[in-house]
Structure 1
Amino acid sequence: MDYFTFPNIDPVLLDLGFFQIRWYALAYISGLVFGWWYCMRLARSVPNNITVKQVDDFMVWAVLGVILGGRLGHVFFYYPGHYLANPIEIFKVWEGGMAFHGGLLGVIVAMLVFARKNKFSVFALSDLVSAAVPVGIFFGRIANFINQELWGRVTDVPWAVIFTHPNAGGLPRHPSQLYEAVMEGLIPFVVLFILTHVFKARFRPGLLTGTFCALYGLARITGETFREEEIPIDFLPFMTYGQLLSLPMLLFGLFLIGWALKQPRLVEKKA
């Protein structure tokens, strides 16, 4: 069978000699810019218990949370031995290597501290962020595909891709990055968009946050079945590391959805 052979795309989109723009960095920048714009737009709608200025101020916190948390998550969740032996490589963020769960923890810490500092419920902020973050995840998975990283398991499906990266072995594999772009990014964004704009889920604080956590957890657990395992878990041979980290997200998301639906609905303010 003739499979699609991945074209040799340069991970550097633009090279000016003294400055480079990589696909990976572009994905993060695009996700953050969209997230900033969308959260600002949502903050203007009712119930408006967080101001547009506060959302604008939080973006610096969010960027730091994503970058520091994502990088440290990659270092300590997946390859602690390698980076402890080569600590200088921890700072080479431009070469890739960001863990979603680490970035999530970084943003959670940033939201908790920022909400406490500004004296409002963390759900006023986390619901906005949850509605926007799937777009960043979508761009990130597309960048993973372009960079030929986090590829899928060997398969004989007609749409299999032969990645040219030396470590891929020249074998047809699932384009799992594209699966995850749809399952972790596109579908959650559409669902959260409908909940936000059609069913006014923001009037039930925590509902959007719980829905995002549940959808991402389920999508990541499902997507990992197609993705080449990075680090085997000796004591859990039937589960990947990504699934192990995503299971608490799924359970917490389901709990938070149930909790939010039991709370009194916020009263819509008159314009």
Structure 2
Amino acid sequence: MSLLTLAAAAAQAHEPIHWVDLGLKNYLFRIGSFELRWYSLAYLAGIVLGYWHLSRMIKSPGAPLAQRHADDLFFYCTLGIILGGRLGYATFYTGGNTGIPSLWAHPAELLSLWHGGMSFHGGLIGVLLAMAWVSWRGGLNFVRVADYLSVCVPFGMMFGRLANFVNGELWGRVVTNPNLPWAMVFPDAPDQLPRHPSQLYEAGLEGLLMIVIMLTLYWKTRARFRPGLLVGVFTVGIGCARFFVEFFREPDAQLEDFARETGLSMGQWLTIPLILLGLFMIARAIAKPALASGRPATA
């Protein structure tokens, strides 16, 4: 039975959709104890599609980098996503008053990717460091490299959130409207109450919507000739989307008290500086005169 059919049936009967009825599995195939999981494929698909699109972008007039720089970005950003995401989780979501022992105190646990998770903000920091390294080593303008890469990132964000949904993880808060047609019961939720499928909200806002916005800005306007504009729009868009979705996303169990005490989740607090930074970059890009053309890439 398709998701649309289940949603229609739930709307008529005022019954939530049960995730288990969708027949989803968290892996593509299994051979013995080995499983090829959709989450791993989502990371791979996002990185490969982003690399392919970046390679297309740098063939258009005004590109600030060459193919060899794109190759370096592909390698180092992959490391940045994985290492930064894991270290970010250890920093922001363990230790302190979270009730989970700090992964920094147990370095071996950092390698156990199946225990805990990955932090979006940590992965973002890892990508920024990777871009800074490639830009410095290649004598490139960091802001213009960030502009080009920001157009490609939403692919990975959409695939990642869809994989979260297929895994039945990172579900949303319990719905306040019992008649919400797409309210869903996830099998691992302890209370088995209908919840928001917030993974799909994130896939739609952080992924699909940002793909449309960024591709339109790049291919249909001259935004790429205003250094900082593309990455500024991306940063504000992702930040606002994440801030909004956090109202429907279930806080990490170890940070529920933090969210109640401060009024906002950890994800929202970490997102506010991103929004402010993005607004600054947009204002700065608009205030400066546009480039007549991009600096030719070094062969």
- Report deviation, 1:96: 6.4
Task: Name 1:120's counterpart in structure 2.
Answer: 140
1:165-194 alpha-carbon deviations (Å, 9 max, x no partner): 1x3421100000100111111111111111
1:38 to 41, 53, 57: 53
- Report deviation, 1:102: 0.4
Q: Distance in 2 between matches of 1:152 and 1:60?
A: 33
Map 1:131-146 onto structure 2 (within 5 A): 131-146=151-166
- AA partner of residue 259 (structure 1): R
Are 1:161 and 2:184 an aligned pair? yes
Give the structure-1-normalised TM-score: 0.93
DSSP-derived class of the 1:111 partner: helix
C-alpha change, 1:173 and 1:234, in structure 2 (3 Å) is closer
Q: Determine if contact 2:161/2:199 at 8 Å carries over to the other structure.
A: yes
- AA partner of residue 162 (structure 1): V
Q: Distance in 2 between matches of 1:126 and 1:204?
A: 12
- Report deviation, 1:256: 0.3
Task: Name 1:103's counterpart in structure 2.
Answer: 123
- Report deviation, 1:86: 5.1
Task: Name 2:19's counterpart in structure 1.
Answer: 6
Task: Name 2:3's counterpart in structure 1.
Answer: none
Q: Distance in 2 between matches of 1:192 and 1:236?
A: 36
Q: Determine if contact 2:83/2:123 at 8 Å carries over to the other structure.
A: yes
1:202 to 205, 221, 224: 224
Q: Unpaired segments of 5 or more residues in structure 1? A: none
Q: Distance in 2 between matches of 1:68 and 1:187?
A: 27
Q: Distance in 2 between matches of 1:224 and 1:168?
A: 20
Task: Name 2:76's counterpart in structure 1.
Answer: 61
Q: Distance in 2 between matches of 1:83 and 1:139?
A: 29
Q: Distance in 1 between matches of 2:119 and 2:259?
A: 21
Are 1:268 and 2:293 an aligned pair? yes
Equivalent pairs, count: 270
- Report deviation, 1:13: 2.1
Are 1:250 and 2:250 an aligned pair? no
- AA partner of residue 213 (structure 1): T
Map 1:12-51 onto structure 2 (within 5 A): 12-17=27-32, 19-51=34-66
Greater Cα radius of gyration, structure 1 or 2: 2
- Report deviation, 1:149: 1.4
Q: Determine if contact 1:25/1:94 at 8 Å carries over to the other structure.
A: no
Task: Name 2:89's counterpart in structure 1.
Answer: 74
C-alpha change, 1:158 and 1:28, in structure 2 (3 Å) is same
1:174 to 196, 220, 230: 196
* 4+ runs deviating over 4 angstroms: none
Q: Distance in 1 between matches of 2:28 and 2:114?
A: 13
- Report deviation, 1:220: 0.5
Task: Name 2:110's counterpart in structure 1.
Answer: 90
Q: Say which is worse superposed, 98-107 or 156-165, in terms of deviation.
A: 156-165
2:171 to 151, 161, 171: 151
Report the aligned-residue RMSD. 2.0
DSSP-derived class of the 1:172 partner: coil
- AA partner of residue 288 (structure 2): Q
Q: Distance in 2 between matches of 1:161 and 1:46?
A: 47
Q: Unpaired segments of 5 or more residues in structure 2? A: 1-13
